[in-house]
Amino acid sequence: MTTVGGRLEAIVLAAGGGVRFGGAKLTAPWRGRALIDGALDAALAAPVRSVWLVTGADPRVIRVGAVRQDERLNFVHARDHALGMAASLRAGLATLPPDTAAAFVFLGDMPLIPRGIPARLAKTLGGSILASAPVCGGRRGHPVLFTAKLFPSLAALEGDEGGRRILEPLGSRLALVETDDAGVLFDVDTRDQ
């Protein structure tokens, strides 16, 4: 909930339409539950004060999974979700309490995030570090932990753009946490997966 840098929050982006999937992706069955439940489980296991689930194209997302009963889970509707991921991210950032020091950004279609990764990311905060992300096999994964200093840059993104453009120029101010768990890379795009 709190770290060297202050209070932590989590945003779970779940506003997309799942077009490549054929719609209703996040409420589709996944290992006996809804797909979104995997991301919510990981976010709620993170060292955060609260979790902000950003909805949009499929409002049924708020009615799935037992984890929705957690008192730390809040729902935010991104009215302009059709404009892309940046709009959903902006809606999530706008709801964060003013004393938020950093926020994890989870993607709703990534159900296999290892439970210990968020705590490891949080431990990297402090000094000149502005963000932290897991790396598996040389590829950067999710979730990403952004400090509040980066919130204005994230809120200025447009279209179907996530935080990649913000992370690339950070250099040594981006902490990379190595893991051999490919769950930080796995996302569901099609029904075959």
* Total number of domains in the chain: 1
In a domain, 190, yes or no: no
pTM of the predicted model as reported, rounded to 2 decimal places: 0.90
pLDDT at 81 over 50: yes
With contact defined as beta carbons under 8 Å apart, do 50 and 10 qualify? Answer: yes
Per-residue pLDDT tens over the stretch 133-188:
999 999 999 999 999 999 999 999 988 877 888 999 999 999 999 999 999 998 77
With respect to residue 7, please indicate whether it lies within any of the assigned structural domains.
yes
**Residue 175 belongs to some domain of the structure:** yes
pLDDT reported for residue 25: 73
pLDDT value, residue 58: 74
pLDDT digits (tens, 9 = 90+) for 89-131: 999 999 999 999 999 999 989 999 999 999 999 999 999 999 9
- The answer on pLDDT for 1 being more than 60 is no
Burial zone of 175 (CB within 10 Å; 0-12 exposed, 13-18 middle, 19+ buried): buried
Identify the band that residue 53 occupies on the pLDDT scale cut at 50, 70 and 90: very high
- Domain assignment of residue 132, given as a range: 2-184
Q: What is the CATH number for 49?
A: 3.90.550.10
Question: What is the DSSP annotation of the chain?
Answer: -EETTEEEEEEEEE----TTTTS--TTSEETTEETHHHHHHHHHHSS-S-EEEEE-S-GGGGG-SGGGG-TTEEEEE-TTGGG-HHHHHHHHHHHS-TTEEEEEEEETT-TT--TTHHHHHHTT-STT--EEEEEETTEE-S-EEEEGGGHHHHHT--SS--THHHHGGGGGGEEEEE-S-GGGT----STT-
- For 4-41, how does the pLDDT look when each residue is reduced to its tens digit (9 = 90+)? 456 999 999 987 655 555 456 787 777 888 888 999 99
> Among residues 14, 1, 10, 9, which one has the least CA distance to residue 111?
14
Exposed / middle / buried, residue 91 (Cβ in 10 Å: 0-12, 13-18, 19+): buried
Does residue 50 sit within a domain? yes
Rounded Cα–Cα distance for residues 192 and 172 (Å): 38
Which residue type sits at 58? D
Band of pLDDT at residue 66, cut at 50, 70 and 90 = very low
Q: Is residue 189 part of a domain?
A: no
State the average pLDDT over residues 44-70.
Answer: 78
Q: Is residue 174 part of a domain?
A: yes
Q: Dmax over Cα atoms in the chain, in whole Å?
A: 44
Classify residue 193: in a domain, yes or no.
no
User: Residue 192 has what pLDDT?
Assistant: 55
Q: Identify the CA nearest to 117 among candidates 167, 46, 185.
A: 46
Query: Within a domain: residue 192?
Result: no
User: Which tokens belong to 167?
Assistant: 């992370």
Per the CB < 8 A criterion, the answer to whether 47 and 141 are in contact is no
